[in-house]
Amino acid sequence: MVSEPPDIDADEAFQFVLSLHRLLRELHRAAPPDGLPRTQLLVLVKLNRSGPLRIGALADEVGCSQPTATKVVHAMEEAGLVARAADKADKRVSWVHLTQQGRRRLSDVVRDESRVFVERIGDLEHDEIELLLKSGAVLRRLTEASETDIRQIPREPQ
């Protein structure tokens, strides 16, 4: 049963989200994924989470057009990060899946960013580190419960 959300100060929520963005930007800058374009990184993450996907579904998940997804997948195939397999029932359809090399590449990016994160929090007090790490479980619940497609969120008129 879902309860009513507590009263949340809008400015505090804004500052929290802004801080998350800043932290992620710092992690990405400090541990760049060695020339791996952002779209390719997103493809690795999506395939790791979902398993094999068709190109159209992958384009939807990553937020790009189908022709762009096809080009990205082609480049990733050439790099050995993904492979395509024909659908057994419909040979016109192909499924994109991670290769072992793709899994290792994603693992390397996550490991490097985690290392930078650990270095970054080293100056915090012990109880702050404990609280921050416990909040990770809450953040995982938020992100895994319902992956909201940000393209579906209405924007305020400009």
Q: What is the pTM of this model?
A: 0.72
| Domain 37-144 indexed as CATH 1.20.950.20 | no
pLDDT tens-digit profile of 1-57?
A: 556 667 788 888 899 899 999 988 888 887 777 778 888 999 999 999 999 999 999
**DSSP category for residue 150:** G
Residue 63 phi/psi, 5-degree rounding, is 85, 40
| CB within 8 Å of 73: residues ≥ 6 apart | 43, 55, 58, 82, 84, 96
HSE-CB for 42 with a 13 A CA cutoff: 12
Question: How many angstroms separate the CA atoms of 47 and 28, rounded?
Answer: 20
3-state SS assignment for residue 43: helix
pLDDT tens-digit profile of 96-155?
A: 999 999 999 999 988 988 888 999 899 999 999 999 999 988 888 887 765 544 344 343
